[in-house]
Copies of this chain bind each other. A is one copy, B any other.
Amino acid sequence: MTVADLGEFGLIAAIAARLPPAAAGIIGVGDDAAVLAVPAGRPVATTDLLIEGRHFRRDWSAPADVGGKAAARNLADVAAMGAVPVALLVGLAAPGDLPVAWAEGLVDGIAAESARAGAAVVGGDVSSADTIMIAITALGDLAGRAPVTRAGARPRDVLAVAGVLGHSAAGQALLTGGLAEPASLVAAYRRPRPEYEAGPEAADLGATSMIDISDGLVADLGHVAEASGTGIDIDTARLVPGPDLLAAAAALGPASYPSQGAGAAAGGAPGGAALAPPMSWLLTGGEDHALAATFPPDARLPARWTVLGHVHAGHGVTVDGRPWPGRAGWEHYR
């Protein structure tokens, strides 16, 4: 059964049937627009596109993994403002010969990751297209918190990260090399598990800036440094690769050194050529959607936050005090 067999309205009905019913006071799928409850009146909104062949490959990821990852990258953006995820809207453009089961799996993955974040799928759109394109918009609720932007880092703040780094990049390198172990890294590539609750937690801890690591630690901290008018230094002595990353680097050997500008077919590829894996994965691998935040020097951070460096009065991102010589992270059209 293909989506063309079902037709647009049949496909929408099949998708809607897989979603839990809307909570009280919420209007979900099926009207001109969804209606949400954001009692404190400061909704947060972000949108992302995923294109087959660029952000995912159907031969590398099950549809539920593609959906889970698509939801995660948007939900993490909401969390990175200090907000609690509330709702997702899903646009799906796909060729008529796409199996309905693939679309259903995609929606199952989106719904499951949304539920993990406390959010619900409340609306969307379906269109025919030559390529699969997924457009997700995530909405959140600041719940009375002030938003944590990229612009508030101050000299002497500490830089800390919640969540894993480099796992998705290592998993992608393994798949590119035809390997499937360590399985935890392949799973991290297919289905990142951001710690959404760390976002509001950081806001409550007095975070001065925050960003989600989608393009790579160096690249994304570059946005914070620029927006804040500060420099940020990463201390690699604090970037300790776990046994899985070490095993992956050993298994791949020199093949795991991505060449400058090579990029891979399916999104988020690290391009840093300055250091070997696993350090290059830690510094330039995106798509784990860890949260990076800066905190006042005297902040007392819970265990999930790992201090990795500090903010200073300079500019740009340095690694152990030196400019990063390689490619900092993923950029479309590059």
Measuring CB to CB, which residues of chain A are less than 8 angstroms from any residue of chain B?
3-4, 6-9, 11, 27, 30-51, 54-55, 76-78, 80-81, 83, 87, 89-93, 96, 122-131, 133, 135, 137-140, 142, 147, 149-151, 210-212, 227, 331-334
Which single residue of chain B is at the shortest CB-CB distance from A47?
A: B89
Cβ contact of A42, chosen from B35, B81, B210, cutoff 8 A: B35
- Which of B40, B89, B126, B135 contacts A41 (CB under 8 A)? B40
Contact A81 B150 (CB under 8 A): no
Closest Cβ neighbor of A89 among chain B residues? B47
A131–B128 CB distance below 8 A: no
Are B7 and A47 in contact, CB atoms less than 8 angstroms apart? no
The answer on a CB contact under 8 Å between B46 and A34 is yes
Q: Are A49 and B142 in contact (CB under 8 A)?
A: no
* Chain B residue with Cβ nearest A291: B32
Contact A45 B333 (CB under 8 A): no
Q: In the complex, how many angstroms separate the beta carbon of A85 from the nearest chain B beta carbon?
A: 10
How many copies of this chain are found per oligomer? 2
For A34, A77, A135, A142, the residue with the greatest tally of chain B CB atoms inside 10 Å of its CB is A135
Task: Name the contact of A149 in the complex, choosing from B31, B125, B137 (C-beta under 8 A).
Answer: B31
The minimal Cβ–Cβ distance linking A194 to chain B, given in whole angstroms, is 12
In the complex, chain B residues whose CB is within 8 Å of the CB of A45: 33-34, 36, 45, 87, 89, 122-123, 137, 139
When the two chains form the complex, which single residue of B8, B9, B51, B96 contacts A128, counting CB atoms closer than 8 Å? B51
Min CB gap A317→B, angstroms: 15
Nearest Cβ distance between residue A227 and chain B, in whole angstroms?
A: 7
Shortest distance from the beta carbon of A125 to any chain B beta carbon, whole Å: 5
Given contacts A37-B41, A41-B37, contact A333 B7 (CB under 8 A): yes
B-side contacts of A90, CB under 8 Å:
47
Whether B331 and A8, one on each chain, are in contact in the complex, defined by CB atoms closer than 8 angstroms, is yes
Bound complex: CA A83 to CA B34 (Å): 11
Residues of chain B within 8 A of A91, CB atoms compared: 47-49, 135
CB contact between A33 and one of B4, B77, B89 (< 8 Å): that residue: B77
Smallest CB–CB gap between A149 and chain B, Å?
5
Cβ–Cβ contact A44 & B38, under 8 A: no
- Known pairs A127-B54, A333-B128; A137 contacts B34 (CB<8 A): no
A137 to B45, CA, bound (A): 9
A212 / chain B contacts, CB cutoff of 8 Å = 32
Provided the pairs A54-B127, A334-B8 are in contact, do residues A41 and B44 lie with their beta carbons within 8 angstroms?
A: no
Are B333 and A51 touching (Cβ within 8 A)? no
Contact A129 B139 (CB under 8 A): no
Asked whether, in the complex, the Cβ of A333 is within 8 Å of the Cβ of B41, the reply is no
Residue from the list B30, B39, B77, B332 in contact with A227, Cβ < 8 A = B30
| Contact A93–B49 (Cβ < 8 Å) | yes
Using known A-B contacts A51-B127, A54-B128, A89-B45, determine if residue A333 contacts B33 with beta carbons closer than 8 Å.
Answer: no
Sample of 11 more A-B contacts, CB < 8 Å, known A7-B331, A11-B333, A47-B90:
A6-B333, A33-B44, A33-B77, A33-B83, A36-B45, A38-B41, A40-B41, A45-B123, A51-B128, A130-B130, A133-B135
> Once the chains are docked, how many angstroms separate the CA of A91 from the CA of B151?
23
